[in-house]
């Protein structure tokens, strides 16, 4: 993850094939600034993003976006087989368009889709990646570009799925999605309001009226749930997690964490 392989606009973090036995669980883990495709090739199971579960079957593709808390469960009576592809994009039109896709992804079925072209391309990439034949790098660069374009196309008509939502509901979901995908870069909610070209006080009031939740509570809850998973992953120190999530100090992070979960980050880690 710290040394991605570069293929043109695409930085490859992970690619491979996995077999999960019955009832096996890939535990919660955080995705930072990267996307991940899960392509089910056999069996069935459940993919979870931020606590929302999606049942998956052969041929299903699941898209995980930056800052997701991601986990996978095989079903109790059937193994689950899947291919996976994790990547980031350099600045440019593909990154911009995929960022738009991230902002649109709300609704129960929005993460799961079918696209045999993407499934075949990832299977071909896995084979090509391990072969080390002449011009493999050039072939893989073309494959990854095709996957990105197909992914953007597949979600380009997501808007029609949202017709049943009011304009205020759409705006609130877009704000939630923006927070979800920018947890590591948002310093305060005023910057979010500026991003959507609204006054913060107005936006906060509209969010509460529309969702029944305070905008600040939603933001803090998402940060702390992410912190909890980061602690469980055991890759970072408590002070590093506080810094990553833009807390003013380890003390303020510890205080907020204890208020939500009933114990300090240090005790939770133990």
Q: Say whether both 110 and 17 belong to one domain.
A: yes
Contact 196, 174 (CB under 8 A): yes
Q: Say whether both 175 and 225 belong to one domain.
A: yes
Domains: count for the chain = 2
Give the domain range for residue 262.
Answer: 167-269
Q: Say whether both 84 and 29 belong to one domain.
A: yes
Give me the pLDDT at residue 162, please. Answer: 46
Instruction: Give the residue among 100, 120, 31, 118 at the shortest CA–CA distance from 67.
Output: 31
Residues 6+ apart with CB under 8 A from 116: 59
Select from 104, 133, 158 the last residue of a domain.
158
Q: Say whether both 23 and 121 belong to one domain.
A: yes
Contact 119, 83 (CB under 8 A): yes
Q: Say whether both 203 and 236 belong to one domain.
A: yes
CA 187, CA 192: separation in Å to the nearest integer? 9
Q: For position 99, which CATH number holds?
A: 2.60.120.280
- Of 127-131, 182-186, 196-200, 220-224, the range with the lowest mean pLDDT is 127-131
Q: Say whether both 195 and 259 belong to one domain.
A: yes
- Of 161-165, 173-177, 261-265, the range with the lowest mean pLDDT is 161-165
Convert the pLDDT of each residue in 76-123 to its tens digit.
999 999 999 999 999 889 988 888 887 777 555 678 999 999 999 999
Q: Say whether both 147 and 111 belong to one domain.
A: yes
Select from 99, 129, 158 the last residue of a domain.
158
Q: Say whether both 99 and 188 belong to one domain.
A: no
CA 8, CA 140: separation in Å to the nearest integer? 9
Q: Say whether both 22 and 142 belong to one domain.
A: yes
Q: For position 198, which CATH number holds?
A: 1.10.10.60
Q: Say whether both 41 and 58 belong to one domain.
A: yes
Q: Say whether both 142 and 236 belong to one domain.
A: no
Convert the pLDDT of each residue in 127-137 to its tens digit.
998 777 889 99
Q: Say whether both 152 and 217 belong to one domain.
A: no
Select from 158, 185, 204 the last residue of a domain.
158
């Amino acid at each position: 993850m710290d040394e991605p392989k570069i293929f043109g606009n695409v930085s490859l973090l992970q690619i491979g094939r996995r077999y999960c036995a019955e009832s096996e669980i890939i535990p919660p883990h955080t995705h930072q600034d990267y996307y991940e495709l899960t392509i089910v090739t056999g069996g069935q199971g459940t993919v979870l993003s931020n606590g929302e579960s999606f049942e998956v079957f052969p041929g299903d593709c699941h898209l995980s976006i930056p800052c997701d808390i991601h986990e996978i469960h095989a079903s109790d009576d059937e193994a689950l087989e899947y291919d996976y592809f994790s990547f980031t994009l350099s600045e440019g039109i593909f990154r911009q368009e995929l960022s738009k896709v991230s902002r649109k992804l709300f609704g129960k079925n929005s993460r799961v889709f079918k696209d045999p072209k993407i499934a075949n391309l990832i299977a071909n990439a896995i084979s090509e990646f391990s072969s080390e034949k002449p011009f493999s790098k050039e072939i893989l660069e073309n494959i990854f570009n095709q996957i990105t374009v197909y992914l953007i196309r597949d979600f380009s008509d997501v808007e029609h799925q949202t017709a049943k939502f009011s304009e205020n509901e759409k705006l609130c979901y877009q704000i939630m999605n923006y927070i979800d995908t920018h947890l590591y870069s948002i310093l305060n909610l005023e910057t979010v309001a500026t991003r959507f070209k609204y006054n913060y006080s107005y936006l906060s009031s509209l969010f509460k009226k529309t969702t029944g939740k305070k905008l600040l509570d939603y933001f803090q809850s998402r940060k702390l749930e992410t912190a909890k998973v980061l602690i469980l992953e055991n890759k970072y120190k408590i002070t590093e997690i506080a810094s990553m999530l833009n807390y003013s100090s380890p003390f303020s992070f510890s205080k907020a964490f204890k208020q939500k979960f009933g114990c300090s980050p240090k005790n939770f880690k133990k």
